[in-house]
Structure 1
């Protein structure tokens, strides 16, 4: 594989000289994360790679293509988020996974979830992350990004990677952590947007307009025929939309007043208070106990045939996840990823209930197998978390 070390160094030195790249952690992240691994080989231009320009990674036709943002823009995005090491980050728009890989270097103890409407781009992104063994830290979900992930909120940081109208950010703002959560987005109409940084403190929102940019609109039309779960729902005879709910977005478009200031973001305290070894050991022991209880219920689920009992087990798991949330910040638990998997298990259980009186045994077995795969994934994740804490 070609070594791009010197080209990277020249690019980063240029960004530093222009006073754009100021975060030493981000400088190191750029050096460690290989951009070329996020671009299909047929689109790699070795001359232009690591130049300060966007990089094409997806192309269907002149109206349907996607690029990874230019390095200076990625720098502005990630520095604008003011990521702490244990922040949870929601990214709207996959950008091939490159931005999320860099963000993971800045927030290694946090969880990152990408919402991407295009299932093909989502698949490309997952494969890219798997190549670099980052799929355990970054999850990709096919969904209308405008909905956000309210069931997994609060989010310490939300990054919007495509143009979005002002009123469309309102449901996202509600999902921000009230304790200095930050949303960063190119807000505006089709031609020109303003990259805006919005900070939430309790019930107040403070904004800082930064620079004029030109982004393609955030892709929001979910291709339902390419979403496995959605296809399952349609075939069951009761079209329950699991991941695509535009009505929910419209209902949430309430007026949120944003106060614009110039330096509010600079007041975020990036320092953390150290914890004693005794306290951390106690927290680990308590968290492991809840994880083991969650694991027990997951195992029970695999041998349970009664759908109503399966719903009860899911409720128990929800309760254990709520308990685990209290340890998330201190121990870096992957609570959001666990919750997302349990939500998938619940969705399949709904499908099983709908199919309960059906004679379509093949479909029933297919749904059960998919649900068991989710249970297996959950067990693996729990085992991994327990092993890490021990």
Structure 2
């Protein structure tokens, strides 16, 4: 085994034991996936040495604000909260490098992931193809446009994940959930955000929980709440 490969495997072990487990990620399926899906294969070459570090990884060089991979512990805990099943139809908004979609594709029946930036969408497609993620489809689109029209064709979804921050969860997006389905989003302003899990309990009823605090970059073009002005 080469020194480089050995270093990545040691760093992967440390990531799981020192970052992921202490963040209350104990789901055996999630931990196994983090060991199997090589995160470094989804990171731009310039940042590959940082792939398993506890930080946001830029997806372009020079870095563009908001275009990044979230820290591994955030992705892992989000995956645990979603509790994906083999029959699930999943929607992700914010494909980035395709890593989160690759993880979800291992657990679910199929994944549709949308990316507003064509360059990142191409990156995600290439990364997912190399990883053999044949049940993941990348679509280049502004997900929030025209009341989420780009997401409608493959609805309803058993799970929806927003891989970036939003001020609030749009009602139009919740309507794309199947009854019993769940949505995970990072909701709030830059100073304070909460991981928010919304379950569709009935045709017109929803149950919401906010299990942990986090701050992540915002998704582009999502609606902002009305602000009070003097």
Pairing of 1:195-344 with structure 2 (within 5 A): 195-203=195-203, 204-220=205-221
Separation in structure 1 between the aligned mates of residue 80 and residue 55 of structure 2, nearest angstrom: 18
Deviation >3 Å, runs of 4+: none
Deviation at 1:60, TM superposition (A): 4.6
Structure 1, residues 152-194: CA drift from partner, whole Å, max 9, x if none? 111000000111121x52111000011x100000112344321
Separation in structure 2 between the aligned mates of residue 160 and residue 16 of structure 1, nearest angstrom: 20
C-alpha spacing 1:52/1:172, structure 2 compared with 1 (3 Å): same
Separation in structure 1 between the aligned mates of residue 51 and residue 153 of structure 2, nearest angstrom: 39
Q: Compute the TM-score of the two structures, normalised by the length of structure 2.
A: 0.86
Name 1:290's counterpart in structure 2.
none
Name 1:155's counterpart in structure 2.
157
Name 2:71's counterpart in structure 1.
70
Name 1:185's counterpart in structure 2.
185
C-alpha spacing 1:191/1:106, structure 2 compared with 1 (3 Å): same
* Alignment equivalent of 1:140, drawn from 138, 141, 166: 138
Q: Kindly indicate which of the two structures has a greater share of residues assigned to strand.
A: 2
Q: 1:58 touches 1:65 (CA, 8 Å); kept in 2?
A: no
Q: Compute the TM-score of the two structures, normalised by the length of structure 1.
A: 0.52
Name 1:88's counterpart in structure 2.
89
Structure of greater relative contact order (alpha carbons < 8 Å, 6+ residues apart): 2
Deviation at 1:202, TM superposition (A): 1.5
The alignment partner of 2:121 has SS state of: helix
Name 1:18's counterpart in structure 2.
22
Separation in structure 2 between the aligned mates of residue 10 and residue 60 of structure 1, nearest angstrom: 28
Q: 2:82 touches 2:184 (CA, 8 Å); kept in 1?
A: yes
Deviation at 1:16, TM superposition (A): 5.5
Output the aligned Cα RMSD. 2.2
Separation in structure 2 between the aligned mates of residue 164 and residue 37 of structure 1, nearest angstrom: 28
Structure 1, residues 57-93: CA drift from partner, whole Å, max 9, x if none? 22455x5352111111011111111111121110000
Aligned residues: 216
Separation in structure 2 between the aligned mates of residue 54 and residue 198 of structure 1, nearest angstrom: 25
User: What are the ranges of 5 or more consecutive residues in structure 2 without an aligned counterpart?
Assistant: 226-230
User: What are the ranges of 5 or more consecutive residues in structure 1 without an aligned counterpart?
Assistant: 222-248, 254-390
Q: 2:20 touches 2:76 (CA, 8 Å); kept in 1?
A: no
Q: Kindly indicate which of the two structures has a greater share of residues assigned to helix.
A: 1
